[in-house]
């Protein structure tokens, strides 16, 4: 009788927070609880690309996994600058890529960290790779009663149930997904003003009515009980040349490396999941019924100690920290909006940029006044800078895919 094939599963983190160890501990406990650790037909392998500069951390903040936890997974791969340099040297030595092509795949930024995880998982012959974030926890929260109701989520199991039939699976998110705080409108900034601002800087997937509900809930997105009680994955439909996915609670099928795309974002921007979304027209993407709780403001670390609050805090724009986080998110959005428009609406690109200019010119003074932060006016300059460089960024985006395809061909299984 033929022995069942062992399924090799990679679990990837692109991280820069000290809380990583707490999050990893929680996930490993859920893998044990769900039976994955004891399952002899599944091999669990950790891939961690870490950034020491993000929060001034040290290597041991990531590598010093407690021995009792480490023995419950089959291998651990920690990817820092030395490990990445070794892979670069290997690829150049094998004539897969040349030195000038290195920065687009393994350069700076969040997309490069994700690519490092993806690359290492493929090189180690993983069948699937699940991306998790260090500020997302395997639990869901609903508001179907007078208090918050919490439930555990078997995230890894949820993806493994469906990924063999898809190129990509991605799950759902609850908690503090949006960086937009609860806002009380007034004469300085009306609801219409704020709606116009958000629509100018954000991507197509942000629906104002949904966003308004989240803001009224104090910035909290609650899990949908219909999804929580469903056994069905839904195929993601293409909207405006994109099959929108999330960057974490995300699983990629690695069994054919030639079907895999890399991550990319313009320098200093985010949106690596959004740009990957624009590549997936010919790929099968499923949304699976599992949630993670996003602790976007780092206020609920105690969840990982078993403390389940009955009510979630309203996130109001009444502190410098909250306002600055929202400002940084706006800068991140505006930096990738021109390229997203260029890729998805090339025929209307100049018209859409002009619309954004007009909206921002009118609304930014109100935004500055409302938040008491003159820096918001810089959003317009950022728009012009990234608009000016949009053709260059598009060439980089296409070049990243070309170089990645060469690497994937090198690792393609016979």
* CB neighbourhood size of 358 (10 A): 12
In angstroms, the Cα distances linking 351 to 24, 338, 341, 348, 395 are 46, 12, 10, 5, 21
* CB neighbourhood size of 263 (10 A): 25
Q: From 37, 218, 50, 43, select the one nearest 134 (Cα to Cα).
A: 50
> pTM score, two decimals?
0.95
CATH code of 7-411, in short, is 3.90.550.10
Instruction: Give, to the nearest 10 degrees, the angle between helix 378-388 and helix 320-344.
Output: 30
Q: 3-state DSSP helix/strand/coil percent for the chain, to nearest 5? A: 45, 15, 35
Nearest-angstrom CA–CA distance, 226 and 229: 5
* 294 and 134 Cβ atoms separated by less than 8 Å: no
The residue extents of the domains of the chain are 7-411
* 124 and 77 Cβ atoms separated by less than 8 Å: yes
The tens-digit pLDDT sequence of the chain (414 residues) is 334 679 999 999 999 888 899 999 999 999 999 999 999 999 999 999 998 887 788 999 999 999 999 999 999 999 999 999 999 999 999 999 999 999 999 988 889 999 999 999 999 999 999 999 999 999 999 998 889 999 999 999 999 999 999 999 999 999 998 888 888 899 999 999 999 999 899 876 666 777 888 888 888 899 999 999 999 999 999 988 999 999 999 999 999 999 999 999 999 998 999 999 999 999 999 999 999 999 988 888 889 998 999 999 888 888 888 899 999 999 999 999 999 999 999 999 999 999 999 999 999 999 999 999 999 999 999 999 999 999 999 999 999 999 999 999 999 877
* CB neighbourhood size of 379 (10 A): 23
Q: Please tell me whether residue 175 adopts helix, strand or coil conformation.
A: strand
The strand ranges marked E within 240-364 are 250-253, 285-294
* 257 and 121 Cβ atoms separated by less than 8 Å: no
* 408 and 260 Cβ atoms separated by less than 8 Å: yes
């Amino acid at each position: 009788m033929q022995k069942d094939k062992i399924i090799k599963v990679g679990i990837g983190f692109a991280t820069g927070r000290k809380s990583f160890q707490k999050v990893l501990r929680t996930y490993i406990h859920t893998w044990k609880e769900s039976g994955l650790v004891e399952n002899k037909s599944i091999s669990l392998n950790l891939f961690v690309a870490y950034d020491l500069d993000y929060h001034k951390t040290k290597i041991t903040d990531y590598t010093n996994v407690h021995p009792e936890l480490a023995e419950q997974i089959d291998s651990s791969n920690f990817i820092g600058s030395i490990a990445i340099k070794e892979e670069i040297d290997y690829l150049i030595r094998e004539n897969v890529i040349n030195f000038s092509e290195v920065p687009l795949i393994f350069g700076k930024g969040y997309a490069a960290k994700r690519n490092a995880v993806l690359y290492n998982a493929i090189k180690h012959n993983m069948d699937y790779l699940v991306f998790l974030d260090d500020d997302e926890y395997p639990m869901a929260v609903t508001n179907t009663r007078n208090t918050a109701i919490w439930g555990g989520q078997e995230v890894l199991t949820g993806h493994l149930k469906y990924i063999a039939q898809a190129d990509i699976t991605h799950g759902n998110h609850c908690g503090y997904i949006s960086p937009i705080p609860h806002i009380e409108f007034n004469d300085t900034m009306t609801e219409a003003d704020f709606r116009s601002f958000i629509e100018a800087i954000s991507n197509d997937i942000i629906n104002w009515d949904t966003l308004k509900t989240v803001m009224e809930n104090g910035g909290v997105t609650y899990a949908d009980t219909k999804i929580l009680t469903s056994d069905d994955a839904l195929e993601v439909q293409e909207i405006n040349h994109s099959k929108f996915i999330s960057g974490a609670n995300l699983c990629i099928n690695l069994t054919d490396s030639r079907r895999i795309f890399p991550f990319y974002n313009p320098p200093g921007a985010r949106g690596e999941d959004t740009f990957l979304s624009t590549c997936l027209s010919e790929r099968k993407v499923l949304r699976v019924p599992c949630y993670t709780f996003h602790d976007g403001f780092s206020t609920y670390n105690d969840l990982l100690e078993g403390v389940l609050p009955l009510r979630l805090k309203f996130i109001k724009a009444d502190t410098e920290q909250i306002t600055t986080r929202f400002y940084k998110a706006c800068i991140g959005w505006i930096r990738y909006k021109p390229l997203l428009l260029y890729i998805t609406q090339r025929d209307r690109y100049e018209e859409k940029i002009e619309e954004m200019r007009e909206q921002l010119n009118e609304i930014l003074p109100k935004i500055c006044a409302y938040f008491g932060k003159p820096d918001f006016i810089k959003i317009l300059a950022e728009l012009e800078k990234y608009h000016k460089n949009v053709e260059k960024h598009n060439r980089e985006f296409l070049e990243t895919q070309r170089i990645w395809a060469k690497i994937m061909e090198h690792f393609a299984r016979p």
